[in-house]
Amino acid sequence: MTDLFTLTPTQYSLVLNVLNLSIGAFGAFTLLFILLRRNVARNYSIAISLMAAVTTMAAYHYFRLYGSWLDAYALQGGQHIPTGAAFNYVLRYADWLGTVPLLLSAIMLVLDLGRQQSASLVTRMATSAVLMIGLGYIGEVQGDNLGGRAVWGLLACIPFLYILYVLWGEMSRVLSFESVRVRQLFSRLRWVLLASWIFYPVIYALPILGISGPNVLTLVQVCNSAADLLAKVGVGLLILGIAREKTEEDLAAASRTEKAQTAGMPVPVAAD
């Protein structure tokens, strides 16, 4: 739950329209990921399936947020007044708890690093994501205990920083064996993910800094929605791009191997 304020029609409608847009976008990209997973090799299709699950879960939770926003306000005298019904902001944490581990797992699986290494990375990243969101949720429900909110927020930063270490540190060494194009796509993916995630700690810290009010409430809901769209749709499209690139590389390598075997020549080694 979150504190509500009297809103102007513009403020209220902006949040409502952004939530509505998000539902449609997540639903549309669910269909897109389901259809396009057929265009990538089987090794990478599971990552695209996970992204379809991510956007499906997001569409459901945004539908619930949309309904909760409608219930929380009533139009009176040209202003939107809180009805007393809670706006269930915790639905966002429920969404993140399900979607972020799946999103990070899809990032690891699309690289097809081998069963043992992929399993290790997926386990570590998913566990870190659950800890990050769980600790943040505990801080979110502290109410007026801003000190507790700050402590739990700082604890949530530990798994967050570990995830960044894996993406920028450990994965940089792993990606040295990939083609130039795959490395470029993965670099973009990392920066898009960071750009979307940077909103969340800033928004989380606003109550600690004593920043609130109708404009802040509106901005928080719009920014959270924009960050979710960027993280889930933007990163999902880059995962799809990596899957298609690696599929094309695998097909090209198989074609070279077949031609070499037919000609009785040594099998050529693919270069970056």
pLDDT tens for the 272 residues of the chain, in order? 578 999 999 999 999 999 999 999 999 999 999 999 999 999 999 999 999 999 999 999 999 999 999 999 999 999 999 999 999 989 999 999 999 999 999 999 998 888 888 899 999 999 999 999 999 999 999 888 999 999 999 999 999 999 999 999 888 888 888 899 999 999 999 999 999 999 999 999 999 999 999 999 999 999 999 999 999 999 999 999 999 999 999 888 777 776 776 766 555 555 44
pTM higher than 0.85, yes or no? yes
Contacts of 210 (CB under 8 A, 6+ apart): none
The three-class DSSP label of residue 82 is strand
For residues 37 and 49, the answer to whether their CB atoms sit within 8 Å is yes
User: Taking the CA of residue 263 as centre, how many other CA atoms within 13 Å lie in the half-sphere pointing to its CB?
Assistant: 10
47 vs 43: CA distance, rounded Å? 9
Beta bridge partners of 73: 82
Of 221, 224, 222, 227, nearest in space to 4 by CA: 221
Q: Which of 224, 232, 236 is nearest to 200 (CA)?
A: 224
Collect all residues with Cβ–Cβ distance below 8 Å to 195 and sequence separation of at least 6.
230
Domains of the chain: residue spans and CATH: 9-242 (1.20.1070.10)
User: Which residue in the block uniquely carries the two structure tokens 């930063």?
Assistant: 157
